[in-house]
Structure 1
Amino acid sequence: MPIEVGIWKIQGQPQKLSFSALESEKKLEDVLESNLAILSPDWLYLGRQIPTAHGKYIDILAMDGDGNLCVIELKRHKTPREAVAQLLDYASWVQGLSYDQVTGIYADNHPSKEFEQGFVEFFNSPGPPEQVNRRHQLVLVAAELDSASERIINYLSDNYGVPINALFFRYFRDGENEYLTRTWLLDPQNAEVQSEKVASPSKQDGVWNGLDYYVAYGDNGDGNLVWEDARQHGFVTANGGRWYTRTLEQLKSGDRVFACIPGRGYVGVGEVLDTVKPITEFMLEINGAPTPVCEAGLRGHYMCKQADDPETRAGFVRVKWYKTVPQEQAFWQKGMYANQNTVTKLRNRFTLEQLERFFQLQQD
């Protein structure tokens, strides 16, 4: 059950602001049309009112940084059965979209920009993945979430692994000030794990266990990031732009990370201790005292000269290493998983099996 949200104005005696469901429906459409970031800042807007082959229209179609599609349906005044049925109908069509069809949808809604250019600019990345639409997710957006919709979505997710979730918004007004609050029905990460457990996974990808992440540690010999610093002081890091640092935000306390130096191989496994912090807030313990990264005398320079630039500065995640090896002893076998993103979910079963043997995790 989603958390109920209330807003109180504290000015003398606390006054609860009233919620308007009817006005919220209109506000949702207006806001989402102009700014999809209210749903997620990590979704690239592909288009709205996308015609399907079945004579229906998808309200909004978006894409995440891995090239997976997000089908977004506004509930408006539909019954729970109608809204969910439409989402499932759209999913049956979306799952068959090819790369060319996806880029065609983008072109229809962005006549002055190529899909590849839009992807690069939005995600600040080298380019889209070679394969898109390997997975998709369905999101029902509502001003209010009725109990019937909640039951249906939970049933489909828990029992059949349907990648479906719901976001509901509340609209509040205080004089000339207007507010929207947002709440997920299901925790997005838990919903993804449940979806993969129930669905039939591919042999290559396997099922993501909700715990393991691949981390690319960019020690390429230029003196910027140095693996020995990370080994000694317990962290992973990235810098140089939001595309490199944004995926660090996926990591949370308790996650397990496997560090890999691109072009070399895997060099460490450990447990995440905290969420990402900018270089200006991350402290290392040097001679028993908390010390800023740029004053710690590390081997790497970590773009300290750009530490005050939020667009390029480094992000750091604290890690308790279980086992590490020097860069010269990095482990790699043909067929193991690697990715250009700094952080990705590690679901490749062959890679995990090899890493568990190499780091002797099965014996711990």
Structure 2
Amino acid sequence: MAIEQGIWKLANGTGEPPQKMRPTGLADEGLLEEQIMQDVSILNRDWLLIGRQVRTAFDKLIDLLALDANGNVIIIELKRDKTPREVVAQAIDYASWAVTLADYQLIDIYRAFAERYDRPHATLEEAFEAKFGLALGDVTLNDSHQLIVVATRLDASSERIINYLNEHAQLSINAMFFAAFEDGGNRYLSRAWMIDPDEPSQPVSRKSKKEPWNGEFYASFGDDRPWELARRYGFIAGGGAAWYSKTLSMLSEGDRVWVNIPKTGYVGVGEVIGERCRADAYRFATEHGSKSLPELVSREDYFHLYRHTDDDEEDAEFLVPVRWLHTVSRKEAFSEVGLFGNQNTVCKPTTPKWPHTVERLKQVWSISAESTYKTYE
């Protein structure tokens, strides 16, 4: 169904007939892209632009990339000089790449976009909260995506393809038509949707993506455990049930482990120097000689250490000794959207987030693969 747009100037009760404005056409769709950059509400007031000319993994450029308030990705492709069928096929091709994007990749895309185009917010977290009044961490990024083809017109065959993909192929794709008009030296832009955008769109299913483990371990250090003590004497710990302590056995001497305090952030990285041991049995070298944790800390300061009985091995607190390569206090913990997190005391992550997390921590803490220094004061 071809869509024709028109604008009429009303006579305001003078008795004169409405006057149809003269269509001028869109000579340069690059100009339309510039207008969208200035005000995304030309497309949709509830979208946040996060990228322009975004390069895909197969070296193609997506015209515009946006997010909605739910964190869903919108791929916007201008027809330009492509045939109608080409632009539809190209948008679907881009979707095959966009569906694989992890949240940290979207964060990086926005960071580059903001820097290149001097956006008012430097990070996606800031831009998202300013736009929607929501914290970025409160939504699931890229849980689904939507394709938008922007054109002055589409042929009937392309319209049938778009309708079919929406109704039968579980793909959310729409077309937006623009027309330009002129009146007394003033220029106007009008738009029309091919499919009502308020109709529920088809969800796009996603499959989890795994990557080879990079050899770096993740550790969760409980928020109710004494991080400053662990930082000073060199250990990570878990206990209260076998589920929390048994994963410490995954660590062997020489392993590297990155430590996160849930809901706080990453606080250190260290090299394992011993095997898992009951926390009350391990002895630390101190300036006052060899000491156990019960000799170093009170029940009030380390409740988990004291709550088990001697014959209750499963509930006991266990630790793994480490030589810290870098640590920070709780107040200096590093946290941002896109970093890996897990409730296991120790694990071997295989998600795309994990290598990104390690690289970000190396950048923030200025450490390299060969770093062997300790930072505790």
Normalising by structure 1, we get a TM-score of: 0.51
Deviation of the 1:2 alpha carbon: 6.6
Task: Select 1:53's aligned residue among 54, 57, 74.
Answer: 57
Task: Count residues with an aligned counterpart.
Answer: 198
Deviation of the 1:10 alpha carbon: 3.0
Alignment of 1:114-153 (within 5 A): 114-153=123-162
CA distance in structure 1 between the aligned counterparts of 2:98 and 2:75, rounded to whole angstroms: 8
Task: Select 1:20's aligned residue among 8, 20, 24.
Answer: 24
Query: Which letter does structure 1 place at the counterpart of 2:188?
Result: Y
Q: Which residue of 2 aligns with 1:168?
A: 177
CA distance in structure 1 between the aligned counterparts of 2:154 and 2:200, rounded to whole angstroms: 17
* Segment of structure 1 superposing worse, 183-192 or 129-138: 183-192
Map Cα deviations across residues 166-223 of structure 1 (whole Å, 9 max, x no partner): 111111111221111111101123350xx24xx6699xxxxxxxxxxxxxxxxxxxxx
What SS does structure 2 have at the residue aligned with 1:90?
helix
CA distance in structure 1 between the aligned counterparts of 2:19 and 2:191, rounded to whole angstroms: 21
Contact 2:84 2:154 in 1 (8 A): no
CA distance in structure 1 between the aligned counterparts of 2:141 and 2:126, rounded to whole angstroms: 15
Query: Which letter does structure 2 place at the counterpart of 1:133?
Result: N
Alignment of 1:176-187 (within 5 A): 176-187=185-196
CA distance in structure 2 between the aligned counterparts of 1:147 and 1:19, rounded to whole angstroms: 22
Deviation of the 1:98 alpha carbon: 0.5
Contact 1:2 1:186 in 2 (8 A): no
CA distance in structure 2 between the aligned counterparts of 1:200 and 1:92, rounded to whole angstroms: 12
Contact 1:60 1:73 in 2 (8 A): yes
Normalising by structure 2, we get a TM-score of: 0.49
Deviation of the 1:125 alpha carbon: 2.0
Give the share of equivalent positions with the same residue, in percent: 45
What SS does structure 1 have at the residue aligned with 2:23?
coil
Deviation of the 1:60 alpha carbon: 0.2
1:127–1:25 CA distance, 2 compared to 1 (3 A): closer
Query: Which letter does structure 1 place at the counterpart of 2:76?
Result: I
Deviation of the 1:96 alpha carbon: 0.5
CA distance in structure 1 between the aligned counterparts of 2:137 and 2:47, rounded to whole angstroms: 13
Q: Which residue of 2 aligns with 1:8?
A: 8
CA distance in structure 2 between the aligned counterparts of 1:72 and 1:201, rounded to whole angstroms: 20
Alignment of 1:66-215 (within 5 A): 66-111=70-115, 113-190=122-199, 192=201, 195-196=202-203
Deviation of the 1:54 alpha carbon: 0.6
Contact 2:144 2:205 in 1 (8 A): no
Map Cα deviations across residues 317-357 of structure 1 (whole Å, 9 max, x no partner): xxxxxxxxxxxxxxxxxxxxxxxxxxxxxxxxxxxxxxxxx
Deviation of the 1:7 alpha carbon: 1.3
Alignment of 1:154-303 (within 5 A): 154-190=163-199, 192=201, 195-196=202-203
Unaligned runs of 5+ in 2: 116-120, 208-377
What SS does structure 2 have at the residue aligned with 1:97?
coil
Greater CA radius of gyration, 1 or 2?
A: 2
1:98–1:186 CA distance, 2 compared to 1 (3 A): same
Unaligned runs of 5+ in 1: 203-364
Deviation of the 1:124 alpha carbon: 1.8
What SS does structure 1 have at the residue aligned with 2:179?
strand
Deviation of the 1:130 alpha carbon: 4.9
CA distance in structure 1 between the aligned counterparts of 2:46 and 2:161, rounded to whole angstroms: 27
Map Cα deviations across residues 94-129 of structure 1 (whole Å, 9 max, x no partner): 000001101000000113612111111111223443
Matched, 1:30 2:30: no
Map Cα deviations across residues 27-70 of structure 1 (whole Å, 9 max, x no partner): 42231132211101111110100000011000000000111100
Indicate the RMSD between aligned Cα atoms, in angstroms: 2.2
Task: Select 1:39's aligned residue among 39, 43, 47.
Answer: 43
CA distance in structure 2 between the aligned counterparts of 1:9 and 1:36, rounded to whole angstroms: 26
